[in-house]
Structure 1
């Protein structure tokens, strides 16, 4: 059961990342909220290294696949992201992005130092997952429609979170994880419904990069 749920989670989240790459290049934007993207990339690269030190495992392989996919999503943010922030100069955008990703790594390493590998992987993953669920809803609102988003991403995220919620929350009898997973599920289902509704309405035009002040 543990291997099955790990593989379901790995496959579902891989679909999230692959679809985020496809949609990002299609719509010339980033398809994952950047704060959650930074935390995810930091988590996956950190624990891919940790798992590799302990030997080959299913989760370790999954972490490497996710980290590589995240690198491509990070590139879509670097390449297209400034258009989402009219008036922000190139230097400010680069500095803010670098600061955000550096902070994400610091947060992951602080979790690891304080809780140890076993608890840190779970606590940080579910907390940032809940943040991502809320930020997807915020992205839908801030963009005024489904641009840079996809039902495939929304549904796969829901399933990819549900599997480890069952594994770490229910089967391992961890109420904190189970509660965070339930909150993620509630936000994810709300996002799926909101996204479906938004797709039935016309989207506003993409922000005009020409409206930015010169860098």
Structure 2
């Protein structure tokens, strides 16, 4: 059961990354909130490093390495196109210092998660940043002038992948904290799916009405 859920999680999140890459280069937009992207990349990098260093080669390690490789291309979409979504009232020169300090912060936090919590770090940090991501997607949706780079494929697979990870991690650890974080992830993920589908439907209706005029 746990192996099946891990494979579902790995598959769904891989679809998320592939779709982010595809839409990112197609529409010249990064479809994931930057803070979530930085935390994700740090989690994948640091945990892959420690797993390989300790010679831990299991299904989770291989999945994480696949995500890490895909995430590099997602980061490229942010580096190429992220500046256009930088706050208009902010000097664009701050884009690169801001990017650098957020990446440094993400790596330092992830490192100390492992130092403080050991083997449990990857679980706790993953769900905390996943909740941050779920909320950030909604903030990104209402804050941006368009929905380029975002899609229901990303939203739905993010929701299913995280739900599968919540169930499998709960089976392994019996952690009330992880269950709680997973539940709130699911609530915000479903809310994002609803809001995004509503906006897409309004956009589609507008285009249809425009063609009739």
Question: Is TM more than 0.5 here?
Answer: yes
Alpha-carbon distance in 2 for matches of 1:158, 1:144: 24
Aligned twin of 2:211:
none
TM-score normalised to structure 1 length: 0.89
After TM superposition, give the deviation of residue 87 of structure 1 in Å: 5.4
Q: Of 110, 114, 117, which residue of structure 2 is paired with 1:115?
A: 117
Task: Name stretches of at least 5 consecutive residues in structure 1 with no aligned partner.
Answer: 204-215
* 1:98 pairs with one of 100, 120, 131: 100
| Long gaps (5+) in structure 2 | 205-213
> Match of 2:29?
29
- Deviations, residues 116-154 of structure 1 (Å, cap 9, x unaligned): 1x2110110000000000000011101144322000000
In the TM superposition, structure 1's runs of 4+ consecutive aligned residues that sit over 4 Å from their partners are 87-90
Counting matched residue pairs gives 202
**Alignment partner, residue 211 of structure 1:** none
TM-score of the two chains, using structure 2 as the length reference: 0.90
Q: Which has the higher helix share?
A: 2
Please name the residue that 1:158 is paired with. 159
1:136 is aligned to 2:145: no
Q: Is the 8 A contact 2:2 2:171 kept in 1?
A: no
In structure 2, the partner of 1:45 is 45
Alpha-carbon distance, 1:88 to partner: 4.5
Deviation at 1:155, TM superposition (A): 0.4
Matched, 1:147 2:148: yes
Q: Distance in 1 between matches of 2:188 and 2:146?
A: 17
Tell me, yes or no, if the aligned pair for 2:41 and 2:71 is still in contact at 8 Å: yes
Matching residue of 1:206: none
Alignment match, 2:67:
66
